[in-house]
Amino acid sequence: MSGPKHKARPRKARSPGATTVILLRLYIAGGAPNSVQAIANLEAICQEFLTGGHKLEIVDVLEHPQRAMAEGILVTPSLAKLSPLPATNVVGNLSDKIKVLAALGLSGKMKSDAGSAAASGKGRQT
């Protein structure tokens, strides 16, 4: 008889150019104004700051109330960053870009983008 069997863990090959995909889930309440605004704000943030890759799932709690309750969602709109860890949550219409980027672990990205804009002369008032 052979020794104990262990499940093989799949290994991810990491190449120097590999990017981390951020997994997001946005809980909304139908066409409520804050939900519509949260979708628009999150899409703009993803387009500007998550060009390396992200996956977004939008869950309408009016259509899936049991799922929302099972996942502990009490307020909408609510954004959950599921991976990479640590997992974080942001509640509201996501209009505060700095807080959303901080929750996503990208707070330094906005500063570096602002610094590069200043260095290139963009964003300066004349």
- The residue that leads in pLDDT, 3 or 59, is 59
pLDDT at position 110: 61
**Check whether domain 22-119 has CATH 3.30.70.20, yes or no:** no
Would you say 81 and 88 are in contact if contact means Cβ atoms under 8 Å apart? yes
pLDDT at 63 over 60: yes
pLDDT digits (tens, 9 = 90+) for 3-58: 444 444 444 444 455 568 999 999 999 999 999 999 999 999 999 998 878 999 99
pLDDT digits (tens, 9 = 90+) for 102-117: 999 888 766 544 444 4
3-state secondary structure (DSSP) of residue 60: strand
pLDDT at position 15: 45
Domain spans, the chain: 22-119
pLDDT at position 114: 44
DSSP H helices in 5-123: 33-49, 65-70, 97-103, 107-119
Q: What's the rounded mean pLDDT across residues 51-80?
A: 94
pLDDT digits (tens, 9 = 90+) for 75-89: 999 999 999 999 999
pTM: 0.72
